Amino acid sequence: MFEVFERSRKVSRTDSQAFEDSIELQSHFITKRNELCRNGELLSSRALNYNLNTLQMHIETLRQEKVPKELSEEESIRQTIDTDKEIDPVMASSISAGLGTGPMQTISDDEAIFHQDLMLKVGDFVYVEPHDKNLDPHIVYIESFKKDNTGQALIHGCWFYRPPETFHLASRRFLEKEVFKSDNFTNTPLSQVMGKCCVMFVKDYFRCQPINIDDKDVYVCESRYTSKGKSFKKIKIWPCLQNTPYIMRSNLLPMTRVPSVFAKNRTNIIASDGKSVIAEAGDEISENDITASVTEATDCSVLDVLRPNVPCSPPVDCPVEPGVQIQFFEQFTIPAGTFRVGDCCYVRTDQERNLICRIDRMWVDQDGNPYFHGPWYVQQAELPPTTIGSFYPQEVFLSSIEDTNPLLSICERCSVLDTTDYCTLRPTEFLEKDVYVCEIRYLEHEKKFEPLPESGLKKFHLQNSATVTDEIYRFRTPLVLTKASHQLPQVIEDPNHPLYQKLIAQQQSHQQ
């Protein structure tokens, strides 16, 4: 989501509506996220480190990079307009045809020009005949009156473009009756003026209305449009005169936005599974095209943070002999995934069930082979058949045996929590079936249990900031765990087996 906002700011001007909207939306997202996560009390994640202060710092840095370039571009455009009022070749080619090429005489701005039954003054908005009869009349703001060398009266002014006259994405939405102040200035024969209209600044349009102008001839303007850059820029100060007086509306107009006319040329096609596929009108769409579109729309991948290999110093309890080239790691990536010191994981075996172990340290030897060392966790199915007791459904037992194994023998991560953590929180990246609880240590040689120390399971403190920590969700209400009697291993299935009868008798005695 943040990449979308950053991309929008990167391709937009700092004073554009898109730039400001991206800041507002991202700020709202961060505020709402912190509210839902209770500022880390409910959900603890590295994502919470990106806050409003971080956003503001990034925006200020981006402004410092973009503003000088934008000022340079504006100065270049201003010089071009001052030296030569360019006429858009598509919009005004037919209008400029037939005008005199000699010097022009400027009429005083205080004078009014009468055309048919219209009285025109500097600051008026007028309709001009379109270059194509199938188009709506063009809107021109009168800046001055002129006469060519033949004495023909001309109006010199700025064009205001309707949305279809601009280059924009089909997904862009516009205010109803919105127009844009362009950088196109032309000299237009007075004979091509068709009537008067009014363009109002967005701050006035919704609460005021002009006198003696029909609603159908009233337009709203919020931004200017640059033909060279094909970009929109929000207007801060309205640059046009107000010849027509305004009165307050009895009811404020609703600020509604409508889709682009280009978006209306699309048709929704419902696929067989009920999903909507967008296609251009007039296109022939086969069933294979629909299936491919739906597949592409539903295809997604999990976005993950960068997880580099993070070297670390040798552990205090594992000194490296002189001359031995061994590199220890706090975080290391293998084909099965990225693993850290302190992670619990499944180790593949020849049996159907994988073993559970913990990574206390991991390293790469001088031949480039990765290894890890740590204790095993005994699962209930691995206990001796004579074991009697009541355990939690997902309970495992910390073994007294530690072992060294190739890191490549690991197939995936799991999570082992002590009782307090198991009842109050969950790492968000694990399925519930891969989360276990441990409160007992199992002595392999003595075949007996002993409680864990009061501190619980060993805690690991990662030193390097590049090491990715787990995202933790905390329950609003702690879980209440209940123990169940230890089930007999499935390997003893014969009721007539002597050991089976003995275990049944022991369990009945234990329950009494």
Q: Is 303 part of any domain?
A: no
DSSP 385: T
How far is it, in rounded angstroms, from Cα 79 to Cα 89? 19
Could you tell me the pTM of the whole model?
0.54
**Token digits of residue 253:** 């107009």
What is the reported pLDDT for 12? 83
Q: Does 200 share its domain with 61?
A: no
Buried b / exposed e across 402-414, counting CB within 10 Å, b at 16+?
eeebebebbeebb
8 A C-beta contact, residue 163 and residue 261: yes
How far is it, in rounded angstroms, from Cα 382 to Cα 346? 14
Q: Is 402 part of any domain?
A: yes
8 A C-beta contact, residue 331 and residue 466: yes
Q: Does 77 share its domain with 111?
A: no
Q: Does 328 share its domain with 433?
A: yes
**Token digits of residue 58:** 């990034």
Q: Which amino acid is at 179?
A: V
Last residue of a domain, one of 247, 271, 298: 298
Q: Does 317 share its domain with 448?
A: yes
Q: Which amino acid is at 387?
A: T
Bridge partner residues of 361 (DSSP): 373
Residue with tokens 């205001």: 160
Buried b / exposed e across 462-500, counting CB within 10 Å, b at 16+?
beeeebbebebebeeeeeeeeeeebeeeeeeeeeeeeee
CATH code, domain carrying 21:
1.20.920.10
Q: Does 20 share its domain with 150?
A: no
Q: Is 34 part of any domain?
A: yes
8 A C-beta contact, residue 210 and residue 198: yes
How far is it, in rounded angstroms, from Cα 473 to Cα 493? 41
CATH code, domain carrying 116:
2.30.30.490
Q: Is 304 part of any domain?
A: no
What is the reported pLDDT for 387? 81
CA–chain centroid gap for 424, Å, is: 30
Domain count, the chain: 4
What is the reported pLDDT for 298? 46
Q: Does 423 share its domain with 314?
A: yes
Q: Is 421 part of any domain?
A: yes
Distance between first and last Cα of the chain: 59
Q: Is 383 part of any domain?
A: yes
Q: Does 398 share its domain with 485?
A: yes
Q: Does 287 share its domain with 335?
A: no
How far is it, in rounded angstroms, from Cα 340 to Cα 309? 9
For 136-184, the three-class secondary structure string (H helix, E strand, C coil) is: CCEEEEEEEEEECCCCCEEEEEEEEECHHHCCCCCCCEEECCEEEEEEE
8 A C-beta contact, residue 228 and residue 183: yes
Q: Does 267 share its domain with 330?
A: no
**Which of 159, 2, 176, 21 lies closest to 92, judged by CA?**
159
8 A C-beta contact, residue 113 and residue 142: no
* Number of other CB atoms surrounding residue 45 within 10 Å: 16
Could you please report the per-residue DSSP string of 40-93?
A: GTSEE-GGGGS-HHHHHHHHHHHHHHHHHHHHHHHHHHHHHHHH--PPPTTTSH
8 A C-beta contact, residue 177 and residue 99: no
Hey, what's the torsion of the CAs at 204, 210, 216, 221, to 10 degrees? -30
Q: Does 280 share its domain with 323?
A: no
Q: Does 178 share its domain with 246?
A: yes
Q: Is 404 part of any domain?
A: yes
| H-type alpha helices, 380-467 | 419-424
- Domain limits for position 205: 93-259
Q: Is the dihedral of CA 279, 282, 286, 289 positive or negative?
A: negative
DSSP 348: -
CA–chain centroid gap for 131, Å, is: 43
Last residue of a domain, one of 245, 272, 298: 298
Q: Does 278 share its domain with 359?
A: no
**Token digits of residue 478:** 């702690």
Radius of gyration of the chain (CA): 37
Q: Is 305 part of any domain?
A: no
From the DSSP assignment, how many helices (H) and strands (E) are in the chain? 8, 33
Q: What are phi and psi of 384, to 5 degrees?
A: -60, 150
Q: For the chain, which ranges sit under pLDDT 70? A: 77-111, 264-303, 486-512
Measure the CA angle with vertex 162, ends 237 and 265; round to 5°.
135
